[in-house]
Amino acid sequence: MKQYITHHDWQIIEDDFHDEHNRISESIFSIGNGRMGQRANFEEQFSGDSLKGSYVAGVYYPDKTRVGWWKNGYPEYFAKVLNSCNWIGIDVLVNGKALDLAKCEIRHFKRVLDMQKGFLQRNFTVQMPTGEVLHVEATRFCSLVDDESGAIRYSISCDFSGELTLSPYLDFDVVNEDSNYDEKFWEEVQRAVGNGEGYLTAATRKTDFHVCTGMQFAINKNGSTIQLDPTLTEREKYIANTIKIPVQASDQVVLYKYAANLSSENHAKDKLVENCKQVLHRITEKGFDAMLKEQASAWAERWRDSDIIIEGDVAAQQGIRFNIFQLHQTYTGEDERLNIGPKGFTGEKYGGSTYWDTEAYCLPFYLSTADERVAKNLLVYRYKHLQKAIENAEKLGFHSGAALYPMVTMNGEECHNEWEITFEEIHRNGAIAYAIYNYINYTGDYKYLSEYGLEVLIGIARFWAQRANYSNAKKAYVILGVTGPNEYENNVNNNWYTNYTAKKCLEYTLLVLDSIKEHSAERYTAIIEKTRLIEFEEQELWRDIIANMYFPVDEERGIFLQQDGFLDKEIEPVSLLPEIDQPLCQNWSWDRILRSCYIKQADVLQGLYFYEDDFDETTHRNNFDFYEPLTVHESSLSPCVHVVLAAKLGYYDKAYELYLRTARLDLDDYNNDTEDGCHITSMAGTWMAVVQGFGGMRVRDDQIHLNPFIPKQWSAYAFKIRFRGSVLNIRVEQGKVKVIHESGLPVGIVLNGQKNELFEGDEWVL
Amino acid sequence: MKQYITHHDWQIIEDDFHDEHNRISESIFSIGNGRMGQRANFEEQFSGDSLKGSYVAGVYYPDKTRVGWWKNGYPEYFAKVLNSCNWIGIDVLVNGKALDLAKCEIRHFKRVLDMQKGFLQRNFTVQMPTGEVLHVEATRFCSLVDDESGAIRYSISCDFSGELTLSPYLDFDVVNEDSNYDEKFWEEVQRAVGNGEGYLTAATRKTDFHVCTGMQFAINKNGSTIQLDPTLTEREKYIANTIKIPVQASDQVVLYKYAANLSSENHAKDKLVENCKQVLHRITEKGFDAMLKEQASAWAERWRDSDIIIEGDVAAQQGIRFNIFQLHQTYTGEDERLNIGPKGFTGEKYGGSTYWDTEAYCLPFYLSTADERVAKNLLVYRYKHLQKAIENAEKLGFHSGAALYPMVTMNGEECHNEWEITFEEIHRNGAIAYAIYNYINYTGDYKYLSEYGLEVLIGIARFWAQRANYSNAKKAYVILGVTGPNEYENNVNNNWYTNYTAKKCLEYTLLVLDSIKEHSAERYTAIIEKTRLIEFEEQELWRDIIANMYFPVDEERGIFLQQDGFLDKEIEPVSLLPEIDQPLCQNWSWDRILRSCYIKQADVLQGLYFYEDDFDETTHRNNFDFYEPLTVHESSLSPCVHVVLAAKLGYYDKAYELYLRTARLDLDDYNNDTEDGCHITSMAGTWMAVVQGFGGMRVRDDQIHLNPFIPKQWSAYAFKIRFRGSVLNIRVEQGKVKVIHESGLPVGIVLNGQKNELFEGDEWVL
The CA-to-CA distance between both ends of chain B, in Å, stands at 39
Q: What is the 3-state secondary structure (H, E, C) of A33-66?
A: CCCEEECCCCCCCCCCCCCCCEEECCCEEEEECC
Candidates A73, A182, A595; nearest CB to B480? A595
* Chain B residues closer than 8 Å to A471 by CB: 567-569
Peptide linkage before B711 cis (omega within 30 of 0): no
Per-residue model confidence (pLDDT) at position B64: 82
DSSP 3-state assignment of B482? Answer: strand
What number of helices (H) and strands (E) belong to chain B?
22, 34
* Chain A environment of B469 (Cβ under 8 Å): 568-570, 595
C-beta atoms of B588 and A66 within 8 A: no
Report whether A695 contacts A649 (CB < 8 A). Answer: no
Amino acid (one-letter) located at A254:
V
B403 three-class SS: coil
Q: Which residues of chain A does B480 touch, with a Cβ-Cβ cutoff of 8 Å?
A: 565, 568-569, 595
Which residues of chain A register pLDDT less than 50?
Answer: none
- Taking residue A616's Cβ as centre, other Cβ atoms within 10 Å add up to 9
Based on its alpha-carbon atoms, the radius of gyration of chain B, rounded to whole angstroms, reads: 27
Does B72 sit within 8 Å of A587, measured CB to CB? yes
Within 10 angstroms of residue B6's Cβ, the number of other Cβ atoms is: 15
Per-block mean pLDDT, blocks of 10 residues, chain B (766 long): 92 95 96 96 97 94 78 80 96 97 96 98 97 97 97 97 97 92 92 94 95 97 92 95 96 98 97 97 97 98 94 94 96 89 88 89 95 94 97 95 96 89 96 98 96 97 98 98 98 98 98 95 95 93 98 97 98 96 93 96 98 98 98 93 97 94 90 90 94 97 96 95 96 96 96 96 94
Residue whose C-alpha is closest to residue B239's, from B185, B281, B186, B199 = B199
Residue B181 contacts A, CB cutoff 8 Å: yes
DSSP per-residue string spanning A358-424: IIIIIHHHHHHHS-HHHHHHHHHHHHHTHHHHHHHHHHTT--TT-----SSBSSSSB----HHHHTT
User: 371-400 in B: which are within 8 Å (CB) of A?
Assistant: 395-397
pLDDT of residue A743: 96
Interface size, chain A vs chain B, as Cβ–Cβ contacts under 8 Å = 142
Give the model's pLDDT for residue B286: 96
Contact A279, A228 (CB under 8 A): no
The C-alpha atoms of residue B396 and residue B424 are separated, in whole angstroms, by 11
ipTM of the complex: 0.91
Chain-centre distance for alpha carbon A488? 22
A337 within 8 A of A58, measured Cβ to Cβ: yes
The CA distances from residue A402 to A531, B88, B765, in Å, are 10, 55, 66
Q: Which of residues 554-613 of A touch B (CB under 8 A)?
A: 564-565, 567-571, 585-595
Q: How far is A67 from chain B (nearest CA, A)?
A: 5
Cβ–Cβ below 8 Å for B470 and A570 = yes
Tell me whether A469 touches chain B (CB under 8 Å).
yes
**pLDDT value of position B314:** 95
Per DSSP, helices labelled H in A611-733 are 617-627, 638-648, 652-663, 680-688
Query: A489 CA to chain B: closest CA distance, Å?
Result: 9
Instruction: Confirm or reject contact between A236 and chain B (CB < 8 A).
Output: no
Q: Are A309 and A691 in contact (CB under 8 A)?
A: no
Q: Which domains does chain A have, with CATH numbers?
A: 33-304 (2.70.98.40)
Hey, are the CB atoms on A417 and B182 less than 8 Å from each other? no
Which string of DSSP letters, residue by residue, matches B684-733?
Answer: HHHHHIIIIIIS--EEETTEEEE-----TT-SEEEEEEEETTEEEEEEEE
Contact B589 A480 (CB under 8 A): no
Subunit contact A72:B590, Cβ cutoff 8 A: yes
The closest CB to that of B491, out of A395, A472, A490, belongs to A490
Pairing of the two strands B747-751 and B703-706: parallel
What b/e readout covers A471-495, taking b as 16+ CB neighbours within 10 angstroms? beebebbbbbbbbbbbbbbbbbbbb
Count of residues in chain B = 766
Which chain A residues are within 8 Å of B67, Cβ to Cβ? Answer: 66-68
Q: Residue A397: list chain B partners with CB under 8 A.
A: 588-589, 592
Nearest to B167 by CA among B289, B257, B280: B257
- The answer, for A73 touching chain B at a CB cutoff of 8 Å, is yes
If DSSP codes are grouped into helix, strand and coil, which group holds residue A187?
strand
The pLDDT assigned to B567 comes to 98
> Among partner residues A417, A473, A595, which is closest to B568 by beta-carbon distance?
A473
- Residues 6+ away with beta carbon under 8 Å from B516: B449, B450, B454, B523, B524, B527
Instruction: Count CA atoms within 13 Å of residue A708 on its CB side.
Output: 25
B192: phi > 0 → left, psi -120 to 50 → alpha, else beta; which? Answer: beta
Contact assignment for A481 to B182 by CB distance below 8 Å: no
Nearest chain A residue to B424 by CA distance is A591
CB-based contact A564 B569, cutoff 8 Å: no
Measured CA to CA, the distance from residue B732 to residue B652 in angstroms comes to 15
Distance CA A84, CA A206 (A): 15
User: Taking a C-beta distance cutoff of 8 angstroms, is the pair B291, B151 a contact?
Assistant: yes
Which residues in chain A touch residue B404, judged by CB atoms under 8 angstroms apart? none
- Report the candidate in B639, B467, B638, B486 with the shortest Cα–Cα distance to residue B563: B486
DSSP line for B313-345 = -HHHHHHHHHHHHHHHHH--S--TT----TTTT
Q: Angle, nearest 10°, between helix axes B617-627 and B638-648?
A: 130
Pairwise CA distance, residues B709 & A286, whole Å? 96
Cβ <8 Å between B491 and A594: yes
Q: Are strands A726-733 and A736-743 parallel, antiparallel or unpaired?
A: antiparallel
B742 is catalytic: no
CB-side neighbour CA atoms (13 Å) of B670? 21
Beta-bridge partner residues of A469? A478
The CA distance from B591 to the nearest CA of chain A, in Å, is 6
Give the other-Cβ count within 10 Å of B502's Cβ: 29
Q: Determine the Cα angle at A44 with ends A42 and A50, to 5°.
A: 40
Residues of A in contact with B182 (CB under 8 A): 181
* Cα atoms in the 13 Å half-sphere on the side-chain side of B341: 34
Please list every residue in chain B whose beta carbon sits closer than 8 Å to the beta carbon of residue A590.
71-74, 419, 423
- Could you say which of A474, A493, A591 has the minimum Cβ distance to residue B424? A591
- Looking at the complex, report in whole angstroms how far the Cα of residue B60 sits from the nearest Cα belonging to chain A: 18
Residue A349: what pLDDT? 83
pTM of the model: 0.92
∠B709-B714-B717 over CA atoms, to 5°? 65
CB of A759 within 8 Å of a chain B CB? The answer is no
- CB of A401 within 8 A of CB of A459? yes
Q: What is the predicted pLDDT for the residue at B549?
A: 98
**Bridge pairing between strands B105-114 and B149-158:** unpaired
